[in-house]
Each structure stands twice: as structure tokens, then as C-alpha cells.
Amino acid sequence: MDLTFKVSARIAKPVAEVFEAVANPDELSRYFTTGGAKGRLETGATVTWDFHDFPGAFPVWVLEVVPEKRIVLQWEANDGDSSASYRTTVTMTFEPLDDGRTLVSIAEEGWRETETGLKASYGNCQGWMQMLCALKAYKEYGINLREGMFK
């Protein structure tokens, strides 16, 4: 059993604008990290993200950034098993489409093949799809879907 997933969405904005909305902590804090983001997503950086629905800022380790193409990061798996800490890997890709939109895909992998790992992977899959919906609403319509949702 390989616990991995991939979600995607098309955002009706150019790739440079969509990439910046993810890499820039000020932008990310406007629609996703409801408790705030600190630090730009750059290769080798360790940034912090905070969410009202999962309170307490936590580290995000940025492994690779290829501007306007890919972001690879790691964070704690948080699968509920406090006996052994480990990280999962998140890969975001940004693909310009012929019609001017951007295809954003997010894949996450690396959970332990346990019941708690499976449950955590489902939760993160839901969270990343919500992030893509929030990104679309924010960039295309100026709406913060997460405003007031968790607090």
C-alpha cells in the first residue's frame, strides 16, 4: 500500500502570478495559512505556517524551488502516533496552459503504512484540495474562502 495522493486545479491567472501566491508568505496568509505564514518558499529555507483549524505555528522545510515550475517541501507527518516522528514530502507543480490559465498539482507522499498514516493522508488530501479551491477563489475573485471557517 503506497500512501500518496495528487490533487489538481486550474487557476485562471498566469503561472507567475499563481506561483507567487504560493511562494510569498504575505499572499499565502491571505487565503490559506489563516494564522499566518513566515518566510518565503526558497530552496533550503525553513518557514513557519500557522492555521486556525490546526493552531500552533510549525516548521516547513523547503527542499527545492524552481520558480514558476515546482516547489518541494517537507513537514511533520502528524499522523497521531507520538512515538515516532517523521516527515512527508509535498510536491507542487505549476504548468502554464495554452489558454492563459495555470494547472497547479499537489502531491504528498511518505506516510507510514498504518491506520493512522492512512487517516492522516486523507486529512491532508482534503486540506490540499481546499487550499487549491481557496487559491482559485482568491486569485480569480478576491475572496478568502477560509475567512471565519475555523475560528
In a domain? residue 150: no
pLDDT of residue 81: 65
In a domain? residue 146: no
CA distance 145 to 32: 9
Q: Is residue 124 helix, strand or coil?
A: helix
- Quote the mean pLDDT of the chain: 92
Reported as a single tens digit per residue, the pLDDT across 17-52 is 999 999 999 999 999 998 899 999 999 999 999 988
Please give the model's pTM, rounded to 2 decimal places.
Answer: 0.93
In a domain? residue 151: no
Span 69-93, average pLDDT:
88
Q: What is the CA radius of gyration of the chain?
A: 15
Reported as a single tens digit per residue, the pLDDT across 111-135 is 988 888 888 899 999 999 999 999 9
CATH at 50:
3.30.530.20
From residue 148, give the alpha-carbon distance in Å to each of 35, 37, 53, 126.
11, 17, 10, 18
Span 45-72, average pLDDT:
93
Q: pLDDT-based confidence at 78, cuts 50/70/90?
A: confident
pLDDT of residue 129: 96
Phi–psi pair at 29, nearest 5 degrees: -70, -20
Residue pair 11/104 in contact by the 8 Å Cβ criterion: yes
For the chain, the domain total comes to: 1
Q: What domain range is 95 assigned to?
A: 4-141
Amino acid at 17: E
In a domain? residue 147: no
In a domain? residue 148: no
